[in-house]
Chains A and B, each alone.
Chain A
Amino acid sequence: MQQLTLDDIEALAVGAWILGTGGGGSTYHALLTLRRLYAEGHRVNLIDIDDLADDDAVAVVSVMGAPLVILERLLDSKQIARAVSVMEDYVGRKFKAVMAVEIGGGNGMQPLIASAHLGIPVVDADAMGRAYPEAQMTSFAVGDLKPWPLTSVDPRGSEVIVGRTPTWKWMERVSRKVCTEFGSIASTCKAPRTGAEVRRWGIPRTTSKAIALGHAVAEANRRHADPIEAILKAESGKRLFSGKVVEVERRTTEGFLRGRAGFEGLGEDRGEKIVIDFQNEWTVVWRDGQPIASTPDLICVLDSESGEAIGTETIRYGQRITVIALPASEVFLSPRGLEHVGPRAFGYDIDFKSVFQS
């Protein structure tokens, strides 16, 4: 068990945003909330998945909703803890720990907020290793674990329990509907997991990975070293392209932010051009009409100078960027994993070839 310092949490905000691969929502409100909770004397402990007993109950939390709505409703720190308590009442068991469903973006920090209120530790793991747009795009879904029940709460006092759905896709549909009625934001506790399930299907040590990433960027900036080099080194990543944004095109379909951004090379890549598609997160990198990287590999677009991640909602013409790839969790590289999160799950008729395969 490791008690997180406020420095670790500041680093987590940076690292989780990088692992958001362009989406996942800002970490800023969660960071402000945690600063406040720490100032009030709350502390958060992180435990390794190996510290879980087989039958320990683990709560899996996330905030669903539109980033724009979060800008107005803000995060309500007690809501995420309430979603967990409602689940405890429903299943009649107390949770030993809480974990994130997605480490990428603001949701990577939600379990810390729940932990501060509930006094139970955070498990150093998640079920995406990054951010993905939909609930069935998790390692738990790949493992065919049961998708139900789910609790969803809003600050007015509404509590919804989705008792059973036949599939993860149905859970996504039903819970998304509830979220929309709440005002397109809801604090949720997903299907509870046992310690054994988390060890078998959880993606281990992603919280500490995000913290290490954030520390690496901060340390590089302190030493006036290249923060992107530090990220690549920390994560065994690969530099794909350096250049500038020359084109951005966005549209919403079925509630998702879809589009593409075009880039022209600078430095070593001068004369080269690439295009990256996105669906909330970056999905496929194209060069001369051929895919050169795709989900589930993590595609991160970073500010070339600061190393700060750039989101699909805010990227704009003229920004100097470096595109890197980080390795995906192994669970997604199996044929079953690729069914959930490979290029075909996003509507591309292409085969996945990892940039890390030689």
Chain B
Amino acid sequence: MKRIGIDVGGTNTDAVLVDDGKVKAGVKSATTADVTSGIIGAIEALGSQTNLKSGIDALMIGTTHFINAVVQRKHLTKVASIRIGLPATASLPPFSGWPAELEALANGGIWMVEGGHDYDGRSFMPLDVHALRQAAKEIRTRGLKYAVVTAMFSPLDTSHEDTAADILRQEVPGLSVTCSHMLGGMGLLERENAAILNASLIALAEETIHAFERAKSKLGIAAPLYVTQNDGTVAEASRAAAFPVFSFASGPTNSMRGAAYLSGLKEAIVVDVGGTTADFGHLRLGFPREANAVVHVGGVRTLFRMPDLISIGLGGGSLIDLQANSIGPQSVGYRLPQEALIFGGKTLTASDIAVAAGLLELGDRKRVAHLKAAEVDAILACAKAMIEENVDRMKTDAGDVTLIAVGGGAFLVPDKLQGVARVVRVEHGGCANAVGAAIAQVSGEVDQVFQGMTRAEAIAAARQQADSRAIDAGADSDSLIMVEAEDTPIAYLPGNAMRVRVKVVGDIRAKQLQQA
């Protein structure tokens, strides 16, 4: 199977060709403002190295476009928010806790109706269908195109959200409806926030993915397009366009997946050292461990599947202060080729130190000859301590771990580190993110409260649901494996209640590839 993987980062667009599980070629080119021409440039550069004419099976793209839209407050669409939970939840309506300027861009109106469920699956109140039809009329009058439906305890029982979505679509032809249960687990406000961000980004996502499709046909590639997700898997382009929030953190995730693939290791800590930051993550069964915590996106609280990462200001472009013996967090970033000493610039960077120490061949070594060996050693020791501390933070138990070092700044990672059994470096490590995109699989996930079951029964029930979700998303059922299984007992609930989160992944179904 022949796949092209592309990772569109803030500075570089990386592309690789993976054939029969081997990386055949990899290129880096500059990211462009319109994204698309950068992608075309990267694929063309890849084509100059290797033959792309014959049978590409899939094109996988990872992009930071959607999260940037939220952070930069650009390209967001107004959304109708429907909350199902009255007479409860009334005092904290949708958009509670949002930054005012972001709410102004996304809030197209709020409707709150009776309905929802309880933690034990009982109906809280019957769904107020009449009020929903009334809301639909108003949404149509206001000309809104995107809506969000959030019902109390919808991760346990999706029926009220599903029924509401059907009614809205009937009454408002062409309305795009995001149901909150598709986006997250327990935590109504956070799940609703994720759903609103999602709906607000669909127009941009559709436009972006059409642009990717145009680039693809311009290059004469007939293979289907997939977009990489926060959890290191991919979604078909149409599904990705409907769920842009699932692509928010795909960059660092792709690096970790690529690191796992290139090293053949499934259990390890990964450090991806770029120009400005070093991202630390923990691979379990070949996938990044996910954070089970609130994640703020552009100032909005959300709670959905994101990799558990630590990001620190350590990279090839980090500024060095010899007096204070410190590195970063400021960095010259993409201006390294102009500003670093080795390129004739005036700024002392981590790359200059590495060249002086003989760790890196780059630029003009004579320009850093004045640095004293003791100064250089002190800075490298400082980088070593930063890496050791954060590797230790990522560990889930005591004992030495394997560390995979990838990214353009991986030369800052020494071979001997406290708490690390060995440091693994891989070929094509600089393009690990694009490799991660190219080899991505499909996933299915469940996060629910189970009661009156043993732990094993609850996990089995969750597994069954996760399997069917993965198969719906295009996975080959024979290849499914469980990569996350977590159960948390719940305080103050009767009946041995526990919250179970299960995730499975599998290969893309071959048939899927042939259809497109």
Contact = CB atoms under 8 A, between A and B. Distances in A.
A184 to B, nearest CB: 6
Interface string B482-504: 00000011111110111100000
Interface in B346-384: none
Contact of B394 (A180, A313, A318, A320): A318
A76 B91 contact: yes
B343 interface: no
Given A252-B497, A257-B489, A280-B491, A73 B293 contact: no
Interface stretch (A8-16, A29-37, A48-56): A29-37
B493 A183 contact: no
A66 B488 CA distance: 13
A246 B493 contact: no
A317 interface: yes
A67 B97 CA distance: 19
A251 B186 CA distance: 19
A66 B492 contact: yes
Interface in A24-83: 29, 32-33, 36, 64-69, 71-78
Contact of A71 (B97, B187, B398, B489): B187
Given A76-B88, A252-B497, A68 B489 contact: no
A74 B394 contact: no
B91 A75 contact: yes
B91 A74 contact: yes
DSSP class of A's interface residues: helix, strand, loop or mixed?
A: mixed
A75 B293 CA distance: 20
A76 B93 CA distance: 11
A314 interface: yes
A256 B186 CA distance: 19
Given A68-B499, A71-B188, A76 B96 contact: no
Interface string B469-490: 0000000000000000000111
Interface in A220-257: 244, 246-247, 250-252, 255-257
Contacts of A183: 118-120, 122, 124
B89 interface: yes
Contacts of A184: 118-119, 492-494
A71 B497 contact: no
Given A32-B96, A72-B188, A318 B91 contact: no
Contact of B92 (A32, A67, A252, A280): A32
A68 B449 contact: yes
A78 B89 CA distance: 11
Nearest to A64: B492
A119 interface: no
Contact of A66 (B88, B119, B292, B395): B119
B152 A72 contact: yes
A163 interface: no
B397 interface: yes
B92 A73 contact: no
Q: Which of A72, A247, A264 has the most CB of B within 10 A?
A: A72
Contacts of B491: 66-68, 252, 255-257, 280, 313
Interface in B407-459: 449
Category for how many chain A residues contact B:
35 or more
B14 to A, nearest CB: 30
Given A184-B492, A318-B394, A72 B153 contact: yes
Contacts of A156: 87-88, 124-125
Contacts of A66: 119, 490-493
B150 to A, nearest CB: 10
Contacts of B87: 76, 155-157
Nearest to B125: A156
B162 interface: no
Contacts of B125: 156
B515 interface: no
B118 A255 contact: no
B90 interface: yes
Given A72-B152, A155-B88, A317 B489 contact: no
B214 interface: no
Contact of A180 (B97, B188, B397, B494): B494
Contacts of A36: 91-92, 96
B92 A72 contact: no
Q: Which of A32, A157, A251, A256 has the most C-beta atoms of chain B within 10 angstroms of its own C-beta?
A: A32
Interface in B186-216: 186-189
B302 to A, nearest CB: 13
Contacts of B393: 244, 318, 320
B488 to A, nearest CB: 7
A157 B97 CA distance: 28
Most A CB atoms within 10 A — which of B91, B118, B398?
Answer: B91
B188 A74 contact: yes
Interface of B: 85, 87-92, 96-97, 118-120, 122, 124-125, 152-153, 186-189, 292-293, 392-398, 449, 488-494, 496-499
Given A32-B97, A69-B492, A255-B493, 10 more contacts: A66-B119, A68-B491, A73-B188, A76-B87, A156-B124, A184-B118, A250-B489, A252-B496, A252-B497, A257-B491
Top 4 A-B residue pairs of the complex, sorted by shortest distance between their CB atoms: A252-B489, A257-B491, A77-B91, A66-B492
Interface of A: 29, 32-33, 36, 64-69, 71-78, 155-157, 180, 183-184, 244, 246-247, 250-252, 255-257, 264, 280, 313-314, 316-318, 320
17 contacts: A36-B92, A65-B492, A66-B491, A67-B492, A71-B186, A73-B152, A74-B85, A74-B89, A155-B90, A184-B118, A184-B119, A247-B397, A255-B492, A257-B489, A314-B293, A318-B392, A320-B393
